Copies of this chain bind each other. A is one copy, B any other.
Amino acid sequence: MAKRIGILTGGGDVPGLNSVIKGVTYRASEAGFEVTGIRRGWEGLTHVNLADPGSRNRYVLGLTRENTRTIDRTGGTFLHSSRTNPVKMKSLPPFLQGQEFPWKEVEKDGKKSITYDVTEQVKKNLKELNVDYLVAIGGDDTLSYAAHLNKAGVPVVAIPKTMDNDVRNTEYCIGFSTAITRAMDAINRQRSTVGSHERIGIFRVFGRDAGYTSLYTAYVTSVRCAIPEYQFNLDKMIDLLVNDKRNNPSNYSLAVLSEGAEWQGYEVQHYGAEDAYGHRKKMNVGEAFSDKVKAATGEETIVSDLTYDLRSGEADFVDKMVASTFAGMAFDCICEGKSGLMTSIVNGCYAMSEIPDPRLGPRKVDIATMYNTDRYRPTYNQKLGLPIFLTKA
């Protein structure tokens, strides 16, 4: 009987995922493998009831050259996604309720709750689906469960994606280049409106823990930036922007901020009513910074939130190239009988690496070589020897 590869995408979507799905399907089908798409990330393996055709239809999709032929021309993920983590389930899927699964008590914000580990169910479903190998594409969360499942006996090959580019053990994650492409385009397009009104333009981009998106956008647009890895001095940043504006014949200036950026003494503000969990909305750092700029200088500002647009649309050249290459590497890895590895770029070259240990947290910008703490912008010197994407795994 033909060998069968399962494939799923977890976490936030990025352009390029469909190139991976297509690439694995094409390579595998040429070599006589079958390919099974698992829909909605790990949820497809925790929630599916294989005895129920409706549920099966909802969560399982056989992949062929025919049904993946055109998917690489759009962003997002053809298999859809979710944030389910099978070792940390807050409740059992309806279909499994009443069954016994390992659980533990966790405490967060002084509140205790229980989480279940349904790995046994995941393994059972994969077995029933005759999946011999699993290709799991995702960011930190998805990858950490991929490693867990591999240790539990299912051969898994992982592929890193995130527009934040903050997965450890690789210098590049699918989606990063397209995110910078979008951010660069948006900022350059909006220059004319910021300039026409002689304002200070503040752009916010995704990046809670790591500043790569903000930093690389700044690198190619020549604007100031703030990143989570370095708390900036509020007065100094404002001074720089006011000076930039004065020196600009069009009398405007720009900065790009990671959503996780902070200044020294910054306190997140909340607003709105409490939701069911007692949480209020956080005021985004772009708006908070804008308030400070206006108060300190009387200058008008524009706050532009570049969020979903950065993950929208078709993958750019680099993301298509890397996605197709990662797909091929994952398949080659399977053919060589290896598993528990992640496709990656290390020192500028394609490599198979360990799936990162989630306890280490996200990869961070190396301030010393990449961020000029004096000028709040990227450094442009001493790049000799660095990999092409300017950062080391």
Contacts and interface: CB of A to CB of B under 8 A. Distances in A.
Interface of A: 9, 12-13, 15, 22-23, 26-27, 40, 66, 69, 72-77, 80-82, 172, 177, 180-181, 184, 186, 188-198, 216, 219-220, 222, 248-249, 251, 269, 271-272, 275, 281, 283, 287, 291, 302, 304-305, 307-309, 311-314, 316-318, 320-322, 324-325, 327-329, 331-332, 345, 347-352, 380-390
Given A347-B349, A349-B348, A349-B387, A380 B196 contact: no
A348 B388 contact: yes
Given A304-B309, A332-B381, A388-B172, A222 B317 contact: no
Nearest to A216: B321
Nearest to A323: B220
Contact of A332 (B69, B313, B317, B382): B382
A108 to B, nearest CB: 21
B66 A249 contact: yes
Given A177-B317, A219-B320, A329-B384, 12 more contacts: A13-B192, A75-B193, A76-B196, A180-B317, A186-B309, A189-B312, A190-B312, A193-B308, A219-B324, A271-B271, A328-B382, A347-B349
A186 B40 CA distance: 24
Contacts of A304: 307-309
Contact of A81 (B197, B271, B382, B390): B197
B384 A352 contact: yes
A56 B216 CA distance: 39
A288 to B, nearest CB: 9
A312 B380 contact: no
Contacts of A305: 305
A324 B80 contact: no
A69 B318 CA distance: 27
A60 to B, nearest CB: 16
B325 A383 contact: yes
12 contacts: A13-B196, A22-B222, A23-B380, A27-B380, A81-B197, A216-B321, A271-B281, A321-B389, A332-B382, A332-B383, A349-B385, A350-B385
A132 to B, nearest CB: 19
A328 B219 CA distance: 12
